[in-house]
Structure 1
Amino acid sequence: METVSYTHLRNHLKSYLDMVCENHFPVKIERNSGDDCILLSGDDYASLVETMHLLGSLETTEKILKANKRRELYDLEEVKATLNL
């Protein structure tokens, strides 16, 4: 994660907004007060909130972990053979 000062961000705001939205790179903004902020795209923020909501429930987290354990992994050659490719 790139870290920039508030002044630097203000002087280059458009390029940082483009970078954050297009490349999904968060930016840490350092302030003189010591209260740093993070600049995220709207999509990344929504994803983070959804993840926190899902993992906030112990029951949901357990279901996700169980489903992940049941997941089977296949080699590319196995998939090709199964699909007759």
Structure 2
Amino acid sequence: MDTVSVNQFRDKLKSLVEHVVSNHVPLKVTRRAGEAFVVMSADDWEREQETLYVLQNSSLMKQIAVSVATHNNNSGYTPTSDELNEITRI
């Protein structure tokens, strides 16, 4: 994660925000007298929140673990050709 001072951030606000949004990289902004803060795009923040929700939800994590195990053992559900065609047809 790149880091800039609050003064640099203020001076280059437009270009730095554009870089954060278009490249999906957060930016740490430091302040002399206070806590630093992070700037990130709204889409990236929402994605992070969804990831945290899944990681903190033990039920979902168990479902993922079972799914990985059945996949690795080739013992999971196998769709029929018709189901695959319906899924992949665009």
Q: Same fold (TM over 0.5)?
A: yes
Tell me, in whole angstroms, the C-alpha distance in 1 between the residues paired with 2:66 and 2:33. Answer: 45
Tell me, in whole angstroms, the C-alpha distance in 2 between the residues paired with 1:36 and 1:69. Answer: 42
* Structure possessing the higher radius of gyration over alpha carbons: 2
Q: Which residue of 1 aligns with 2:80?
A: none
Q: TM-score, normalised by structure 2?
A: 0.72
Query: How much has 1:61 moved relative to structure 2?
Result: 1.2
Unaligned stretches of 5+ in structure 1?
73-85
Alignment root-mean-square deviation, CA:
1.4
Q: Which residue of 1 aligns with 2:88?
A: none
Unaligned stretches of 5+ in structure 2?
73-90
Tell me, in whole angstroms, the C-alpha distance in 2 between the residues paired with 1:9 and 1:69. Answer: 47
Tell me, in whole angstroms, the C-alpha distance in 2 between the residues paired with 1:19 and 1:70. Answer: 41
Question: % of aligned pairs identical?
Answer: 31
Q: Which residue of 2 aligns with 1:38?
A: 38
Within a 5 Å distance, the mapping from 1:1-85 to structure 2 comes to: 1-71=1-71
TM-aligned CA distance change 1:29 to 1:69, over 3 Å:
farther
Number of residue pairs aligned between Structure 1 and Structure 2: 72
Q: Which letter does structure 1 place at the counterpart of 2:31?
A: R
Q: Which residue of 2 aligns with 1:76?
A: none
Q: Which letter does structure 1 place at the counterpart of 2:55?
A: L
Q: Which letter does structure 1 place at the counterpart of 2:21?
A: C
Q: TM-score, normalised by structure 1?
A: 0.76
Structure 1, residues 26-60: CA drift from partner, whole Å, max 9, x if none? 10011112411111101000000111111111111
